[in-house]
Structure 1
Amino acid sequence: MVGVVYSFAGEFCAARTIRKDVLDCLFGKSSAGILNLIDESLRAAQAASMALGGLDSLCSPIFGLVPGELRATQSKSPRDLIETACLLYSSLVNLDKLDEADENDAPQQEEVNRRFGTEVRLEVLKIRPALVSGFGNGAQLVPGGQRVRFGFSSPKAIIHFTVLHPVRHSGSMKDARAKIFELQQARKLSGVGVAALIAGTPRLDDPTLGSKQRDQLRDNQLEIESEADAVNLRWYSAHSASEGALRVVELAD
């Protein structure tokens, strides 16, 4: 994915989601022409959607760029919408305007997890609609305690979703550990055969990650995997919502 054409609050807009330096790495001296082609294609797609009054008309290639599937999100802002598209479709994206984001600018862990879980659910329902009843269920882990909501639960499997964030390391690790504990308790109380944590993660070879981010992400994945193995829980890394959905279907069958 190289860009997003979207409608928000009645306005049609377009945003390039692949950085210039990534194109430089991929195409060398030819990157300038490719960058211009991408930007011009996105402008043309934006103009076409404005002229036709909708995005559903964008179904043919525009200067070589092929429009993807039309999606509807529950985003609160254009930035939220674009981040959702990036998480769903590609790890080779990183908006220039988000490059300077630090830990304070990053979305809250709960928001990121909810977005990832929602997109996984949508992908699962596309390929296995019968699993709809498994989403949004909860269980009481201690007598008299509040019900804990899981990403997916069925007689065969209990699954939590989380995201290992390349910026907000401490928050994502704390959330992953808490969910390992909840899965451990739920499996003990329910006797279900499979308890798993599915984590949305960037690819370690993602060229948009810095070396420190890549090293930290690798360390975090190994640590959470070890902690899950120690209590006999399954751990899966998913680079997109569609990968996460395939894991859910595999575990639920």
Structure 2
Amino acid sequence: MSSIDMIFPDMPLYEGGWQPIYFEPVVGSGERVTIAVAAYGVTGEFQIIQSIRSELLECLYGINAPKIHSMIELVLLSSRNYFKQYKTLDSWKAPFDGVFLGHVSKALDEDLSGILKQAIRFSSSLSSLALDAERDEEEELQPKRYSAKFSKNIQMELHSINSSLNDSFNQKVKVSGSDVLTTFGFMNDRYVSNFGLLVPTRMSGSLNSIKAKIFDIEALKKSSYLMVPERFEVIIGTPSFSDPTLSDKAVTRLKDTLEMVEEIALKEDICVFRAETAFAAAEHINKVAA
């Protein structure tokens, strides 16, 4: 091997391509946002995913974000079904106006996930820039809203798994000498937990919100409350570490923040359970609390 060969790494062997899907919020305006990307491997593998994170949709479209998200879901369903049948998107037509298919770019990487990351990096600046941007923490209310939604979704999932635990959600307890009641996400005689969400675009605000939830559990543990549960826990919702919409920097920050949460909680003998979905959190609660 020559000295030149030793300087440069080997070329990735996985061949494929990627293709953006654009959305025009105001039809005919020419303003387009990348809402999804499709990635293909020469071996026949494919994935079509949403490229703009849901929390960013809320920032951009406010109360209309759920409608935009539903439209994106329709686009994903339609394009995936079409590709399964025809192995291409060349003649695919979106289920409504204002959606456009970009051209295919060839790519090399380690696997299909790597090609997806390339697609997002080169076609969806809103997602990548939003994730890596440093933010002023005027964002405290956003994480609380996301956590409230996460909690509601856990309750809905657990209702399907074990409806007998419904009444244990949002329990209000007096943990100090004052008359102020503290609310816990889930609590029965065996188990208590609070729910938090680490939002990649709102990491500092998310951490502050979770710290407050840990403090509430700590206060209950040290209180004179007669029916203190056996197990204390905080359930943390996070994206998958392999989520293609997350930059390497965002994943590193997510892992570091989660590690900090675990250190804070474990000092008080409070368990930490990480869940990538509300369903996973609901299954866990049913296992330890039923």
Fold shared per TM-score above 0.5 = yes
Partner of 2:220: 186
Unaligned runs of 5+ in 1: 1-15, 47-60, 66-91
Residue 168 of structure 1: which of 202, 224, 227 is its match?
A: 202
Partner of 1:231: 268
Separation (CA, whole Å) in 1 of partners of 2:76 and 2:247: 33
How far the C-alpha of 1:203 sits from its partner, in A, is 1.2
Aligned-CA RMSD value = 3.6
How far the C-alpha of 1:97 sits from its partner, in A, is 9.3
Distance change in 2, residues 1:148/1:212 (3 Å) = same
Q: Which deviations, in whole Å up to 9, do the C-alpha atoms of 1:7-45 show, x marking residues without a partner?
A: xxxxxxxxx99731xx33xx24799x976xxx9x94697
Separation (CA, whole Å) in 1 of partners of 2:221 and 2:142: 28
Partner of 2:163: 129
Q: Which deviations, in whole Å up to 9, do the C-alpha atoms of 1:32-72 show, x marking residues without a partner?
A: x976xxx9x946978xxxxxxxxxxxxxx95477xxxxxxx
Separation (CA, whole Å) in 2 of partners of 1:213 and 1:238: 18
Separation (CA, whole Å) in 2 of partners of 1:34 and 1:166: 22
Partner of 2:241: 204
Q: Which deviations, in whole Å up to 9, do the C-alpha atoms of 1:96-133 show, x marking residues without a partner?
A: 69625465797711110100000000000001000011
- Secondary structure of the 1:146 match is coil
Would you say how many aligned residue pairs link Structure 1 and Structure 2? 190
Separation (CA, whole Å) in 2 of partners of 1:110 and 1:193: 27
Instruction: Give the AA of the match of 2:165.
Output: L
Alignment of 1:8-19 (within 5 A): 19=36
Separation (CA, whole Å) in 1 of partners of 2:36 and 2:75: 17
- Secondary structure of the 2:170 match is coil
Unaligned runs of 5+ in 2: 1-32, 49-70, 85-115
How far the C-alpha of 1:249 sits from its partner, in A, is 0.9
Distance change in 2, residues 1:211/1:130 (3 Å) = same
Separation (CA, whole Å) in 2 of partners of 1:187 and 1:205: 35
Q: Larger deviation: 225-234 or 140-149?
A: 140-149
Residues 36 and 76, structure 2, Cα contact 8 Å, conserved in 1: no
Residues 158 and 187, structure 1, Cα contact 8 Å, conserved in 2: no
Partner of 1:242: 279
Partner of 1:78: none
TM-score (normalised: structure 2): 0.56
Partner of 1:153: 187
The percent of aligned pairs where both chains have the same amino acid is: 24
Alignment of 1:1-253 (within 5 A): 19-20=36-37, 23-24=38-39, 27-28=40-41, 42=74, 63=82, 99=127, 101=130, 103=135, 108-189=142-223, 190=225, 191-253=228-290
Instruction: Give the AA of the match of 1:125.
Output: H
Separation (CA, whole Å) in 2 of partners of 1:242 and 1:17: 29
Instruction: Give the AA of the match of 1:219.
Output: D
TM-score (normalised: structure 1): 0.64
User: Which 4+ stretches in 1 moved above 6 angstroms?
Assistant: 104-107
Q: Which deviations, in whole Å up to 9, do the C-alpha atoms of 1:124-182 show, x marking residues without a partner?
A: 00010000110121111211141111111101111100001111111111111111111
